[in-house]
Structure 1
């Protein structure tokens, strides 16, 4: 029987998952990786990330009974991973969560650069995306750029180290240098950002995705789309209008589209996929489960307690409200506001930990609704990510969003990476079987009506918070 492996090099965890030919899980190996946060900077050790990939792949293949047919690779997007000719680090990787370029983004917003780039690439820049990070490095660490052979993305670094091939794909290249119409780099964007002299650092775009072999085993491997579009594939979100909500470190809302509309607000991005004429309108908010993690760590509440606490307090959390914008680089979707920060209100001496936890989960739910509305959701909605492990939170999401949720559990990104690799290698898999939802959660009509009014209040508080952020 054939076995398929998906590797997902995430921000906080690297995983390798094995599946049989019907998409049933055979095993998962995972290793945590660290994220260094200091003074608004967020960096990762490339050797640690690559070492974790080697470990999970070795450990997983050692326990499999059948030979591996192929491997699909995915990983976190954005940021800047400067490498030399061998794919080894020139400096620490700068994460998508980095905020060092926020003043530059402020400057570009005021001057119209952000809007101009969006009209060309379909992507609104934020501090942790490659455009601002490369421009910041060009100003403050030019020697690092001089020493580098390429500025790649996480999975591309891993793919080069595994196969010796340097390449990226159209999904990673989408932010912000790709022209989504031509599927090639837009030199006008580089010129607008003052980076034309650094063009040599952009990795070659392989369209369709690049393929290679592991040198020792000869196993075929494909350098698939990055984690957001990989999750869309793994959740079966391909029909125009259908959407996916990823409740992970990043709260990402994706909607499949077959037309480009670059006339709206310069926010989010249009992710090109392996299918020409098909994009994902993406609104990846900066903080998802990371916001809840901060609250849990601060209050001393364990993750295992969340489900019970959500059920211990009613909708509205007794008046406690949270604007969940905890990222040090502000927010990037469905608007760009680098100086926006989280706010907590309505707290009294009678407020409980349960109130605070529910208010945080509700705030994240409101942010998700905002993103999905901006992305243009009209069809069905799938949901995946670590947040799906809490049934109470999934019911809350269904109520806040006012629609049924197709719950897709397991290693969805790794699953999508396998499906992308199989298509690239011409291996036929039953996609509908691989992407079948685990369950469907229906909203409660009464709670949905309550949350519709609470959402309007959330938008009003958010508008006021954005005004204060701009004034700082």
Structure 2
């Protein structure tokens, strides 16, 4: 009998579910926009009850698609979601207010004023806390909303909240937990994090820790009734959405892929290394996770500013084309528009955007294309800092559908770029993980598949233009960085003036 794997991925933009058979064929897929996200300046929160309802809804829709069409038995459900943020619950497992998402910027000022403490945490864990980290978000609550902080019994991430909602059990796995609360080198928690940051409660708020593969429980009666899936169905807690998507893009799972970049709400640039200590540069915002499908470590730069840069630009400049052909110009854009500043490869809560070379003859198409060039420049910088090995760069996220961007990225980086815009990489990565641990199928190739297109670098004038502009981008960034903090202080003064009656 052909087994069926269900996969659930609750992201910042949308909530998705899919079903695959034992040969990796996609049998059913559902998706709905994330309607639980609330943006209000620095406050970027998510309604936890609505998030749970949306996850149950897409699973129910997927189960309806499968009914009567699948002869195989459903072998299990694999779950992932946004990797960072704080999803607090009380002793009864109910939400303590809205979740603080990874985009929430309220802890930005804490990050800006705790340099020595953050240095000490980075020395202990290998990763530096940012405004997206649960540790600093807990500290912000402790200082600014102590009554709410006192009601928290467990500090979860989104995927752990969904796992609790589906099974009634609170579990975590180490790949996303250790960069904040432990040490990737030893695999152990580091209680010193709480003491160093001044948290009265930290690691004691974490759920039980189990390895990927062992972090599983049966589907509860309530969740079974809500989804139409069988009670007791094995539910596997996968790694974070970043690692799931990177696996789905072929990193560590497709021959010849040495690095990958995801352009969703955020941008993630990653490679797989045997020894992360050998990286040429390790920016404070870099993260390291144990690879769940085999030996080695995923090293990646999680940027706050990804493809949403293009959305922000379109809101501020009229008539920007949605998918422009290349419009080469002297415009150079620094793509730091999110309220939390930037996390990696430049780690600064005060990071802000800039546009150089603007003139009376500047066109909307040039601005739109400069935004894409900026994202490509950050990609090149990130992979150079990590010392990514030679090989293809697999491209994922919404911008994988933009062939002009993919070709420019190939030319700029000198790498063959593989693009699979319709592959549902995160869901396929989850299926490969589920196949490994639920079906005992160690070869992920069937679930990952081949890329839809491979683009080689183009030599000639465009390559020379791209290299020259990248060097100017970097030089201007070095010059602008010292002004980020004064600009942030000026912004605060301006906001206070505008609020004064």
Q: TM-score range by the shorter chain?
A: over 0.9
Residues 148 and 233 (structure 1), Cα distance of their counterparts in 2 relative to 1, 3 Å cut: same
Shift in Å at residue 62 of structure 1?
0.3
Q: Is the 8 A contact 1:241 1:255 kept in 2?
A: no
Q: Is the 8 A contact 2:266 2:307 kept in 1?
A: yes
CA offset digits 1:256-302 (Å, max 9, x no partner): 12224298443311123336852211101111111011122334558
After superposition, where does 1:93-132 map in structure 2 within 5 Å? 93-109=99-115, 112-132=116-136
SS state of the match for residue 306, structure 1?
Answer: coil
Q: Is the 8 A contact 2:293 2:433 kept in 1?
A: no
Residues 74 and 395 (structure 1), Cα distance of their counterparts in 2 relative to 1, 3 Å cut: same
CA offset digits 1:200-251 (Å, max 9, x no partner): 2112211134112223303222110011111122122128992110111111
Shift in Å at residue 61 of structure 1?
1.3
Partner of 1:230: 244
Q: Would you say 1:412 and 2:425 are equivalent positions?
A: yes
Taking the aligned partners of 1:422 and 1:157, their CA distance within structure 2 comes to 23
Taking only aligned residues, the RMSD between alpha carbons, in angstroms, comes to 2.1
Q: Which has the higher contact order (CA 8 A, sep 6+)?
A: 1
Shift in Å at residue 127 of structure 1?
1.0
Partner of 1:398: 410
Of 257-266 and 409-418, deviating more is 257-266
Residues 301 and 387 (structure 1), Cα distance of their counterparts in 2 relative to 1, 3 Å cut: farther
Q: Is the 8 A contact 1:78 1:175 kept in 2?
A: no
Unpaired runs of at least 5, structure 1:
none
SS state of the match for residue 379, structure 1?
Answer: coil
SS state of the match for residue 319, structure 1?
Answer: coil
TM-score (norm 1): 0.93
Of 123-132 and 260-269, deviating more is 260-269
After superposition, where does 1:140-219 map in structure 2 within 5 Å? 140-195=144-199, 197-209=201-213, 210-215=215-220, 216=224, 217=230, 218-219=232-233
Q: Is the 8 A contact 2:83 2:176 kept in 1?
A: yes
Shift in Å at residue 327 of structure 1?
0.8
Taking the aligned partners of 1:414 and 1:241, their CA distance within structure 2 comes to 19
Shift in Å at residue 416 of structure 1?
1.3
Partner of 1:51: 53
Taking the aligned partners of 1:228 and 1:370, their CA distance within structure 2 comes to 19
Larger Rg: 2
Of 344-353 and 57-66, deviating more is 344-353
Instruction: Give the alignment partner of residue 357 of structure 1, picking from 342, 354, 368.
Output: 368
SS state of the match for residue 113, structure 2?
Answer: helix
Of 32-41 and 421-430, deviating more is 421-430
Partner of 1:243: 259
SS state of the match for residue 242, structure 1?
Answer: strand
Q: Is the 8 A contact 2:212 2:239 kept in 1?
A: no
Residues 353 and 16 (structure 1), Cα distance of their counterparts in 2 relative to 1, 3 Å cut: same
Aligned residues: 463
Q: Would you say 1:432 and 2:445 are equivalent positions?
A: yes
Unpaired runs of at least 5, structure 2:
225-229, 488-501
